[in-house]
Structure 1
Amino acid sequence: MRHALPLAAAGFVFAWIGSIIAVGLDPDAMRIGFAIFMLVLATYVYLQMYLRKPPPSTELRHPWPWLIVLGSGSGILGGFFGLGASVLATPILSTVFGATQVVAQGLSLALAVPSTGVTLLTYALHNHIDWHIGIPMVLGGLLSVSWGVRLAHTLPEKSLRTWFCLFLVFCAALMIFKA
């Protein structure tokens, strides 16, 4: 909790600010910007697997105030793109802060919940949500998330990171080609 609370609080505030700005931006520019962000992030995470670094740990390398900085940056991206909070935080937590991939993903979820909630509310208040599509997606996600968590705990660290990178590249391609 001592790590999750600063991340969540900063993420919440800055996601709100980012989402207020985002609802007035050009949707095509945001789509391409998000695709580029995911490709850069995938490249960063992939390269980090091959650079020499200290072994991952359950204890973070940097003190909790730095989590506020991470939460703020992740929150802004989450507010802009609706997904950036945990997508950015996971690789930063695993590479810069030295967390294991599973710990990084767990902390990212603590960040994502409040920032996603405030972003969803802001987008909904500006009529940027199609509830007929969104509600079934939420239900499907809630029913299947435990399977993903279980799978994450069974995969080796390098495999989990590789799959994360492939997921980012796949999503970027879908956005670029409007699939």
Structure 2
Amino acid sequence: MMELMGVGVDLLLLFTGFGLLIGILFGFFGMGGSFLVTPALLVMGYEPNVAVGSGLAFVFGTSVIATLKHRDLGQVDYKLGILMIAGTTAGIEVGKLGLEYLQHIGLAGTIVSVAYVLLLGGIGVFVTREALKGGDGGGIDHDAEGEIDADDIPDIAKKIQSYRFPPMMKLRGGVRVSLWLILLVAFATGLLSGFLGVGGGFIRMPALFYLIGVPVPVAVGTDLFEIVFSGGLGSFLYAQSGAVDLSIVVPLLAGSALGARLGAAATSLVEEDDIKVYFGVMLLLGAIAVAVREIGGVLEMPILDTVSLVIILGAALLVSGAVTYSAIQELRRDESESAPAASFSD
């Protein structure tokens, strides 16, 4: 069968390849799905509801695949994930109210666009700067019981963990933090997600590390666990109105099924500081792409939409390639270190 539901072979190959790239990013960062897919579909000419609905369906499928791989690696904190879901859900509702008010007074488009670019770029600069000055590049160290070395916990997270408001929760890596502070962080990230109208993975993942103090791989895995629920609900609602196009979703998922597992596996190989650098670069390029698109809308220059799409696709290709290369290098280094030991034992 040369076509799937009216989509030609060229588009099938394009969507499958794009799904592979995004799957690597999704499994590695715990974000990048709708952030990349929805703008690409819009520029390709799909209706907004189809672009959003199909993007959410893809996010749901990919997050399930990636979460299962992170679960196998012991990088999902279910207790923290459920608490974050509760807090972010409340925050999203409040954020939506703020957005609706801005729509009522006619300022939503401008404020949301500017806030999105500033937040995306700001987090990108912060994460990249912190990673580059992060010291020995060895990632987070754990003791014999699997607990994080206190010197590797971000200063902000140390401050938050120092507030002892019962009940206290013990999370993966030996992190201990107040239940109320977890819910507060979750509410704040949900508030931003609801206000900006985005999934919020690029907000939650750094918040889990820098504010709560869990290791980066666990932050990624737990964020993906949350996205299973939010993506599932969103895609179900859009599917009810016929806005999920399976001819888009199926080839995307075919590519991401491999990519998500590769990306998730790479988190256990690549240094944590490198993960943060790649994450920061991804956000910075995303901020540039969104800014170019918004400028194109203001100046009525459709060509800038295409430039924005090229930046998005280029960012996906660049960062996923860097992730794959780093993981391969780590595997080769591990093999070269184990080879002399094996020869000696013989």
- Fold match by TM threshold 0.5: yes
1:3 — aligned with what? Answer: 80
Note the residue ranges of structure 2 that are not aligned, 5 or more in a row: 1-77, 136-149, 154-171, 294-307, 309-346
Which structure's CA Rg is the greater one?
2
Q: Which residue of 2 aligns with 1:139?
A: 253
Q: Which moved more, 1:42-51 or 1:19-28?
A: 19-28
Name the CA distance, whole Å, in 1 between partners of 2:286 and 2:292.
Answer: 10
- Kindly indicate whether the alpha-carbon contact (under 8 Å) linking 2:128 and 2:281 is maintained by their aligned counterparts in 1: no
Q: 2:222 aligns with which of 91, 107, 116?
A: 107
TM-score if structure 1 supplies the norm length? 0.77
Instruction: Letter of the 1:78 partner, please give it.
Output: S
Query: For 1:31-110, what aligned pairs fall within 5 Å after superposition?
Result: 31-49=113-131, 50=133, 54-56=151-153, 58-79=173-194, 80-84=196-200, 86-110=201-225
Using the TM superposition, give the Cα deviation of residue 67 of structure 1 relative to its aligned residue in structure 2, in angstroms. Answer: 1.4
Q: CA RMSD in A?
A: 3.3
Q: How far did residue 18 of structure 1 move?
A: 2.4
Q: Which of 19, 22, 30 is residue 112 of structure 2 equivalent to?
A: 30
What amino acid maps onto 1:139 in structure 2?
L
1:51 offset after TM fit, Å?
6.1
SS of 1:96's equivalent in the other structure is helix
| Residues 30 and 139 of structure 1: CA distance in aligned 2, closer, same or farther (over 3 Å) | farther
Letter in 1 for 2:253: L
Q: How big is the shift at 1:48?
A: 2.8
Structure 1: which 5+ residue stretches go unaligned? Answer: none
What is the Cα deviation at residue 4 of structure 1?
1.5
Secondary structure, counterpart of 1:2 in structure 2: helix
Q: Secondary structure at the match of 1:62?
A: strand
Counterpart CA distance in 2 for 1:76 and 1:68 is 12
CA positional deviation for 1:131: 4.4
Which piece of structure 1 moves more, 33-42 or 74-83? 74-83
Greater CA deviation, 35-44 or 21-30? 21-30
Q: Distance in 2 between matches of 1:117 and 1:17?
A: 21
2:228 & 2:98 partners in 1: Cα distance?
A: 20
Counterparts in 2 of 1:71 and 1:141: CA distance versus 1, 3 Å: farther
**1:18 maps to which residue?**
95
Q: In the alignment, which of 130, 140, 149 is matched to residue 264 of structure 2?
A: 149
1:130–1:110: structure 2 CA closer, same or farther, 3 Å change rule?
Answer: same
Q: CA deviation digits over 1:55-77, x for unaligned, max 9?
A: 25723242232111111111122
- Is the contact made by 1:74 and 1:89 (CA closer than 8 Å) also made in structure 2? yes
Per-residue deviation at 1:7?
Answer: 0.5
What letter corresponds to residue 29 of structure 1 in structure 2? I
TM-score (structure 2 length as normaliser): 0.43
Q: Percent identity?
A: 15
CA contact (8 A) 1:82 1:119 kept: no
Distance (whole Å) between structure 2 residues aligned to residue 121 and residue 18 of structure 1:
22
